[in-house]
Amino acid sequence: MSRILSRPFPVLVLAGLSLLAFFGTTPVHAEEKSPLRWEKKILAFEASDMQSPPAKGGVLFLGSSSIRGWDLEKYFPKHQDLLNRGFGGSQISDSIHYVARVVFPYRPRTIVFYAEDNDIAAGESAESVLADYRKFAGLVHAKLPKTRIAFVAIKPSLKRWNLVGEMRKANTAIRKWSARDPRLSFIDIDAPMIGENGRPRPALFAKDGLHLNHQGYVLWSKLVRPHLRTENQLLLASCQFPVSADVGKNAAWIKKQLEESARRGADLVHFSEAALSGYPGADYDPAKSPPRDWKAHDGALKGILDHTRKLGLWVVLGADHRLSKGNKPHNSLYVINPEGKIVDRYDKRFCTGGDLRHYSPGDHFTTFNVKGVKCGLLICYDVRFPELYRKYHLEDVRLMLHSFHNARMREGAVHFIIMPATLQTRAATNNMFVSATNSCARRSWPGLLVTPDGRIASRLPQDEPGILMSLIDADRGYYDASAPYRRRAIEGKLHSGESVDDERSRKRSGH
């Protein structure tokens, strides 16, 4: 789910570096391992860039000979922004050494990376390969925090089959580590390259048994292609902190988490209900507290808007919205664009009996787009009304940003059980992602992300501040059992197939 108005999402692909000069664990001389052996090749890249400067923000294929031999125009004819910077026998350490010259100038939205084949062949351990890849990714994200890196798994080859154990150990370690960061992905090319006999398929390799032939590149291109998409994707930061009655403290938390979200490459940041204002009846007792200082409240909001503008983020922020004299405020979610402007607002439609003592209910739905992903907004008690989700489904919403304040609760409160389950149901029956944020003041259920098939993809720790990073891909297919009949059910036709005109069908007593 992505938006034209948001910043480009860089992606970088590194392909496995193959060593033609080395086999197995043959020792490598120091001068042969020195990154300077590639200096002439890097200078040639730079000379080419001077003559014909490549566009920035594309997809960079980086790595060894497996990358170098990849004819990108041939295998990806529909993509016009791919750049090959493979340099033949290189290792991960070489990409680290030259990162400022072969990555940073292109500001890629994605990197496809393959360089670890030669590392294992040179005698490196799986632990060392992981450490080098982590260093490479860290350098990239320090300079280009939104760049996605797709790691192509170390391939099983005929020539290096004796090293497959250590290679798979490295693959497993990198897969697990990559799962922690939505900007990183792992492309498993190992299993698809193995034949029925449990060994690499000879039909995929050149005569040397190491490099890919046409069939091999056809397979790799098919596996890599889904990682080149940028439309309809966004990186979401779902935030929780201990909301309180102190607007100044709340604003400080919000700014801090905005900064951290921006550092981690977020496109959209989602906060809880009443994140700025505090929640009456839970965070403070309105009967015993002085009236809201709206001047201080509006000043804090302005500071957040300025902060948002500097960071260039989309933000959904929970706050009270003042109405004219004599009317209670709305319990609202502000939609703030990367220019720091409030472009829309959702007002909680279903207020509980307690809410109605403090708030006026809203009367409208709110949708907006970020990087092609259509988003909808709801607040807390709205979750009890599936009709609201149904309406948003009809509006083609793919990401529901549902803000809660179920904090400072009694021991044993049922909300810890029913809220995640209800959100899973809403996601699955409406085919949408659901980001649920909550205050983390003690005894609160933690924020979470539900995928369109109804699974909880990840959640934050309970009663602790945190930011949950999630890559939302609106084009990815999820199990959707009700898809064939959902629309007719919404329209009131509450069965599948065709009704029959049969007396035995109409008679419901007897057998």
Tens of pLDDT, residue by residue over 277-303, are 999 999 999 989 998 999 999 999 999
CA-closest candidate to residue 355, choices 296, 273, 418, 290: 273
Tell me the average pLDDT across 75-90.
86
pLDDT of the residue at 317: 98
Residue 29 has pLDDT above 50, yes or no: no
Average pLDDT over residues 181-209: 90
Query: Does residue 254 surpass a pLDDT of 60?
Result: yes
> Phi/psi at 290 (nearest 5 deg)?
-70, 160
On the question of pLDDT at 456 being above 50, the answer is yes
- The residue ranking higher by pLDDT, 134 or 6, is 134
Convert the pLDDT of each residue in 36-48 to its tens digit: 888 999 999 999 9
**For residue 316, what are the contacts with CB-CB under 8 A and spacing of at least 6?**
268, 269, 270, 271, 333, 334, 335, 336, 375, 377, 401, 403
Residue pair 32/19 in contact (Cβ under 8 Å)? The answer is no
Confidence band of 20 (pLDDT split at 50, 70, 90): very low
pLDDT at 410: 92
> Does the pLDDT at position 30 exceed 50?
no
Per the CB < 8 A criterion, the answer to whether 130 and 172 are in contact is no
Q: What does the pLDDT read at residue 348?
A: 98
pLDDT of the residue at 303: 98
Q: What number is the average pLDDT over the span 463-482?
A: 90
Q: Are 459 and 404 in contact (CB under 8 A)?
A: no
Q: How many CB atoms lie within 10 A of CB 200?
A: 22
Q: CATH topology for 234-490?
A: Nitrilase/N-carbamoyl-D-aminoacid amidohydrolase (3.60.110)
**pLDDT band at residue 229 under the 50/70/90 scheme:** low
CA separation (Å) from 219 to 172, 210, 213, 441, 457?
21, 15, 10, 50, 29
Domain range annotation of the chain: 11-228, 234-490
Q: Is the pLDDT of residue 7 over 80?
A: no
Q: What is the fold, at CATH topology level, of the domain defined by 11-228?
A: Rossmann fold (3.40.50)
Q: Which of 120-124, 216-220, 274-278 has the lowest mean pLDDT?
A: 120-124
| pLDDT tens digits along 91-135 | 898 999 999 999 999 999 899 999 878 888 888 899 999 999 999
Q: What is the mean pLDDT of the chain?
A: 89
Return the pLDDT at 21: 34
Radius of gyration of the chain (CA): 27
- Which distant-in-sequence residues (6+ apart) come within 8 Å of 464 by Cβ? 240, 440, 446
Mean pLDDT of the region 260-273 = 89
Element (H, E) at 420: helix 415-430
Give the C-alpha separation, 225 to 220, whole Å: 8
N residues, the chain:
511
Q: Residue 202 corresponds to which tokens in the numbers above?
A: 């000879």
Lookup result for tokens 């084949």: 117
Residue 13 in this model has a pLDDT that exceeds 70: no
Sign of CA dihedral 223, 224, 228, 232: positive
State whether residue 371 is helix, strand or coil.
coil
pLDDT > 70: what percent of the chain? 93
Q: What is the pLDDT of residues 395-449, one digit of tens each?
A: 999 999 999 999 999 989 999 999 999 999 999 999 999 999 999 999 999 999 9
Residue pLDDT, tens place only, 156-173:
988 889 888 899 999 999
Across 27-36, 49-58, 308-317, least confident range: 27-36
Q: According to the model, what pLDDT value does residue 33 have?
A: 64
Q: What is the pTM of this model?
A: 0.63
pLDDT value at position 241?
A: 98
